[in-house]
Amino acid sequence: MSAGHHAFTAREGVVALAVSLALFLGQGIVFAGMGLALFATGQALHLGPAALGAAFTTVIVGASAGATLPVWLITRIGGRLTMTGGALVMAAGLALAGLASGLALLLPAMALVGAGFSLLANTPAYAMIAGWSGPRTNRVLGLYLMIGALGNAAGPALGQALIADGLGYWRGTCGLALALALLLLAVLRDPPAPALPDAPRAAGWWRPLLGLRFAVLASTMVLSQAVIMTALSVAPAHLSPALGWNAGAVARVLALQGLLGALGTGLAGFALRHVRAVRLLALSLLATALGMGALAQGGALMVNWGFVPLFGVGSALVAMAVTVLLMEWFGHETGTAGLALCWTLAGLAALGPGLAGVLAQWTGSYAGAIWLLGASCVPVAVAAGVLHRAKPIETPSSRA
C-alpha cells in the first residue's frame, strides 16, 4: 500500500518540515538576501550596475541549468542525497563568493549558488512531498510554499544583519548551508516508491506540453521569476538615499513584502476552494504589475502601500497557481515533468536583472526597467484569464 493511503505519519511530517526549511533558507539566502549582499559586495569591489546585474543573472542561469538534474538524480541516488548535495553545492558557491575580488571568481560562485538551489528546492522537494503525502500533496505543498515564502521575509533582515555585523554575508550563509546539509542528511528519508519515474512510462506523455495551455503557464513562470528576481536585486540600489531611503529601511520593506507573500500563500489554499486557480493566477499577475509600478515610482507612500502588499502577495501566488494548474490540467506524471521544464525555462528570467543593470548604466535609473517588467505582466495575465473555461486535459498519465 502506498504512503498516500495511510494516515498522517511522523515521518511524513518530518520530511515536509525538512524540505520546507530547505526552501525557507534557499529563498532567503539565494534570492531575498542576495540583492543586499551583491550591492554591498559591489560597493566594496567597485562594481557598476551592469556588473551586479550580470552577477545576479548568473545565479538564475545556474538555477536554470540545474533545474532538470533532480529528475535524473532522484532515480539514481534518491531525493535525500539529491537535496543534501544541493545544500553542499550552495555552500561551496557561497564560500567561493566570499573569496572573490572581482567578477572572475564572483560569477562562477553565483552559478554554483543557483545550481545548488535547484538541487535543493522545487522539483526534488515536490517529489519528496508527493512520495510521502499522496492525496495530501496539494495541502502539504501549500504549507511548503508558505514556509518558503517566509524566507523572502527573513532573507533581507538576515542579510542586513550579517553585512552590518562584520560576520560577512558569504561566510554566515555558507555556515547555514552546511548546517542545512547535515540536517537533511540526518532526517530525510526517501519515500517507499519513487515519486518521479526515470521517464514517464505512458506513450505520448509529452504531447500536451506542446499546446497553448502549457505555453501560457511556462511564459507566466518565466516572466514572474524575471520580475521577482529583478525587484529583489535592484531594490537596494533603486531605493537610494536620493529618494529618502537608507539600507535598513530597504531591508524592512523587502522583509515585509516577503512576509505578506507568505501569508498570502498560506491563505491561497482556502481561496482555491472558491476561486479557480487560473483566475487566481490572472489576479496575481495584475497585482504584481501594479506593485512594480509602485516600486518604480519609489516614494515612501507608493512603496509601503503599493509595492509591499500588491507585489508581496501577487508575486508569491504565481508559482503556486502555476504548479496547481500543471497538476490539474496535465496529471501528476506529465505535470511534474512540465514543472521541471518550467523551472528550466525560468532561466530566461536572467534577462530581467541583466536588462535592468544595462538600462541603469545607460540612463542612471532602474525605474525604466521596473516599469517595463511590470507592464509585461498585463498581457500575460490576460492570456491566463482567457483560459478560465479550460477543462482538465486527458493525458496518458491521467488515464493510467
pLDDT digits (tens, 9 = 90+) for 19-37: 999 999 998 888 878 878 8
**pLDDT value for 2:** 42
**pLDDT value for 242:** 67
**pLDDT value for 4:** 40
For residues 358 and 371, what is the distance between their CA atoms, to the nearest angstrom?
Answer: 15
Helix 69-99 to helix 312-345 angle, to the nearest 10 degrees?
110
| Model confidence pLDDT, tens digit, residues 68-91 | 788 788 888 988 999 999 999 999
**pLDDT value for 188:** 92
**pLDDT value for 202:** 53
Please give the span between the terminal C-alpha atoms of the chain, in angstroms, as a whole number: 17
Kindly report whether the global pTM for this prediction surpasses the value 0.85: no
**pLDDT value for 388:** 61
**pLDDT value for 274:** 79
**pLDDT value for 269:** 67
**pLDDT value for 290:** 96
**pLDDT value for 74:** 85
> Could you tell me what percentage of the chain is helix, strand and coil, using 3-state DSSP and rounding each to the nearest 5?
85, 0, 15
Which residues, 6 or more positions from 144, have their beta carbon under 8 angstroms from its beta carbon?
16, 19, 20, 23, 125, 129
What percent of the chain is modeled with pLDDT above 70?
88
**pLDDT value for 398:** 46
For residues 306 and 292, what is the distance between their CA atoms, to the nearest angstrom?
Answer: 9
Name the stretches of the chain with pLDDT < 70.
1-8, 138, 165-167, 193-208, 241-242, 269, 388-400
